[in-house]
Amino acid sequence: MTQVQHRLNLAFRWMPDVVVLFLAACGTALATGLGAVPVFYLGSHAAQLTPWLLGFAAGVMGVAAVAGLLIPAGEEGSAAEVAGGLLAGAALLWLARRHLDPDLEFMGRSGPRARTSALVFLVLFVHSLPEGFAVGTAFASERAGLSLFVIVAIAVQNVPEGTSVAIPMAAAGFSRTRQFWAAVATSLPQPIGALVAYFLVEEVSALLPFSLAFAAGAMLVLIAVELLPDAYAGGRRLGPSAGAGLGAALMLALSFALGV
């Protein structure tokens, strides 16, 4: 057990595990709101950072999915359980994206920019649930350092997601307050998903490898079909690649430090 993990255990030893998990998942949701802050000051220029931020999020999530979820799933369960979890997670995200309706009013506004804001919000809202599953499953695992690693990974990659929400909302004329809380709201499924996954794994320990692989599958599909295509959509290569490299390096260093 690392020194950081030991100190956290001492700090929260008087709290039930489920309360610590809920607070941690709420913290990852609030981290999304931090991504709206640069938009407050950069305005339309914030959009120029989007490719880099999306690449950064992809790097963070990629390492978290593989090192924090997929590899532990393979060590805990059979190949069939891991494959089943991967396919189920990928299918959930694919179905959610397919049934999203972009032609919506959003927070009392309509028009192309408002519809873009609604689509971004809905996509992030839906994919936050598997991220919550990842947090809850990792917390239920007895693997040293895994829960802290996954929680930090989700919180870090939530920040650029908040930026992605705020940019179209700023262009549509929404206030800073609405931008911030809309960003946070996209991650509200995370505490719910975390609690659901935690209780399921606690009751049925055999679900742990499937649940880990499920979250990994959803995250990897999200990277492949949303984050990376959007990051490279403008034809730029250096920014997204540098962001992805930095995000991956950051999470690999954290994985090494926590012994995951």
pLDDT (tens digit per residue) in 197-234: 888 877 666 677 887 788 788 778 878 887 788 788 87
pLDDT tens digits along 75-88: 878 888 889 989 98
Q: Which pair of structure tokens corresponds to residue 170?
A: 């700023």
Q: Which amino acid is at 239?
A: G
Q: Which pair of structure tokens corresponds to residue 77?
A: 């369960």
What confidence score (pLDDT) does residue 104 get? 59
Give the DSSP letter of residue 68: I
What confidence score (pLDDT) does residue 5 get? 52
What confidence score (pLDDT) does residue 96 get? 66
pTM of the predicted structure, to 2 decimals: 0.65
Angle between helices 146-171 and 176-185 (to 10 degrees): 140
CB atoms within 10 A of CB 205: 13
Mean pLDDT, range 158-186, rounded to an integer: 83
What confidence score (pLDDT) does residue 201 get? 79
DSSP characters for 100-141?
------BTTB-SHHHHHHHHHHHHHHHHHHHHHHHHHHHHHS
